[in-house]
């Protein structure tokens, strides 16, 4: 695409490659330099923000450098052709016979795609239930609509984290068990904590309290599963955290449908793109970063590598619940921030694979 600059003498439009104005003959070199400086000044803040954000998040993982976020490459597999056999091969991962050795684990960039097919299945079923409800007054389809809508995005995101677990050492059975039991127990734990501290509105203080209570409730269950299965890989922590968070999100979404109807449920389901599933995945990864191959100890919760991520997640949750203006801008920004953290942790997980294969990190014994 041709770039243009304007003559400072007569204002005529000239090609950026011209040295002199075609209208008055004025030298354009100074104008070109000025134009380049303005362009750099305009572009620098955006680049700097992303670099600074990823560098800060990455510092919490143990590496002091920014991370390149190649989202298009990561999700490019969504638009490629895949067979049913490709999908089935993903789902058989994590068994005694299908878990690869460390040497076979790849540290190449992850390219999940199956989650998008699962999401499309949910969308089709939601469309069928909505059609039955709207055109045929099929009231008996309402519970099914609530169930499917509540699970659609949280469960699809869970499949994404199942796909990117490059160690392929956690089966779909274990994942589903944590999704159902972990989600239910985290909800129960959160309700217990609410019974102690209470929370009745969405003021700034109450929003912070809600974020602290709910993230603590989910974290307790994540700690149990990470310790129970003796997990020490970042991708494993992300998957277990995502499973607990997805279960929590699905059950909570269904509860809102009971109180506020299907329209609110559908809005909340879309919002699930950047809430509990991602927040809890971040906590699961952060927990494993400080735990590694050791048994869990409460001192790990005050390790800067963990506590920074915990404060980050509680802050995202609290701001999400605050009654602030420009709600759509707020929600979009929070979803983007959560995904930036996930992408940084994915980078840390791939870095961990290389460290393991070079013998820099001790390999724990799995109890899955």
- pLDDT tens-digit map of 123-175: 999 999 999 988 888 788 889 999 999 999 999 999 999 999 999 999 999 99
Whole-angstrom Cα distance, residue 248 to residue 283?
Answer: 14
| Domain assignment of residue 40, yes or no | yes
The verdict on residue 183 lying in a domain is: yes
What is the model's pLDDT at position 315?
A: 98
Domain that residue 17 falls in? 4-50
- The answer to whether residue 63 sits within a structural domain is no
The tally of domains found in the chain comes to 2
pTM of the model: 0.84
On whether both 46 and 86 belong to a single domain, the answer is: no
Q: Is residue 365 part of a domain?
A: no
Based on the fold, state whether residues 104 and 235 are members of the same structural domain. yes
pLDDT at 5: 67
Q: Are residues 135 and 271 in the same domain?
A: yes
Residue 138's pLDDT is what? 76
In a domain, residue 366? The reply is: no
Residues 306 and 248 in one domain: yes
Q: For residues 13 and 98, state if they share a domain.
A: no
Integer Cα distance of 292 and 279 in angstroms: 20
Shared-domain flag, residues 83 and 185: yes
CA atoms of 328 and 330, how far apart (whole Å): 5
Instruction: Looking at the structure, tell me whether residues 36 and 85 fall in a common domain.
Output: no
Check whether residue 173 and residue 41 sit in a common domain: no
The whole-number pLDDT of residue 41 equals: 40
- Give domain status of residue 178, yes or no: yes
- 302, 187: one domain: yes
The stretches in the chain having pLDDT less than 70 are 1-14, 24, 28-47, 199-202, 360-368
Is the residue at 62 inside a domain? no
Q: Is residue 55 part of a domain?
A: no
Whether residue 108 sits in one domain with residue 18: no
Over 229-276, what HEC string results? CCCCCHHHHHHHHHHHHHHHHHHHHHHHHHHHCHHHHHHHHHHHHHCH
Query: Is 294 in the same domain as 210?
Result: yes
Q: From CA 341, how far away is CA 19, in angstroms rounded? A: 46
Q: What pLDDT, on a 0 to 100 scale, did the predictor assign at position 140?
A: 86
Instruction: State residue 163's pLDDT score.
Output: 98
- Per-residue pLDDT at 32: 43
Looking at the structure, tell me whether residues 272 and 299 fall in a common domain: yes
Tens-digit pLDDT profile for residues 62-73: 999 999 999 999
């Amino acid at each position: 695409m041709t770039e243009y600059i304007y003559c400072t003498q007569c204002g005529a439009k000239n090609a950026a490659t011209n040295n002199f104005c075609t209208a008055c003959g004025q030298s354009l070199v100074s104008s070109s330099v000025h134009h380049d400086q303005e362009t750099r000044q305009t572009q620098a803040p955006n680049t700097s923000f992303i670099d600074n954000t990823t560098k800060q998040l990455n510092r919490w993982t143990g590496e002091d450098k920014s991370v390149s976020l190649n989202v298009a490459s990561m999700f490019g597999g969504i638009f490629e052709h895949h067979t049913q056999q490709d999908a089935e091969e993903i789902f058989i991962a994590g068994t005694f016979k299908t878990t690869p050795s460390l040497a076979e684990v790849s540290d190449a960039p992850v390219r999940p795609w199956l989650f998008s097919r699962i999401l499309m299945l949910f969308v089709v079923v939601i469309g069928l239930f909505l059609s039955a409800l709207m055109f045929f007054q099929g009231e008996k389809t309402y519970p099914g609509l609530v169930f499917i809508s509540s699970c659609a995005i949280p469960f699809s995101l869970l499949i994404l984290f199942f796909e990117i677990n490059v160690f392929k050492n956690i089966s779909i059975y274990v994942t589903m068990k944590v999704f159902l039991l972990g989600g239910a127990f985290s909800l129960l734990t959160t309700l217990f904590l609410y019974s102690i501290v209470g929370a009745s509105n969405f003021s700034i203080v109450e929003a912070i309290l809600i974020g602290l209570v709910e993230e603590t409730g989910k974290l307790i269950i994540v700690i149990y599963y990470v310790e129970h299965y003796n997990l020490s890989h970042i991708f494993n922590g992300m998957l277990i955290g995502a499973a607990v968070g997805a279960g929590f999100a699905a059950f909570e979404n269904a509860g809102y449908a009971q109180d506020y109807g299907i329209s609110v449920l559908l809005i909340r389901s879309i919002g699930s793109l950047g809430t509990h599933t991602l927040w809890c995945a971040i906590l699961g990864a952060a927990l494993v970063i400080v735990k590694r191959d050791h048994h869990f100890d409460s001192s790990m919760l005050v390790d800067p590598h963990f506590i920074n991520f915990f404060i980050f997640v509680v802050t995202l949750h609290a701001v999400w619940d605050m009654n602030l203006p420009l709600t759509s801008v707020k929600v979009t920004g929070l979803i983007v921030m959560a995904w930036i953290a996930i992408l940084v942790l994915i980078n840390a997980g791939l870095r961990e694979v290389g460290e393991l294969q070079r013998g820099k990190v001790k390999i724990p014994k799995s109890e899955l």
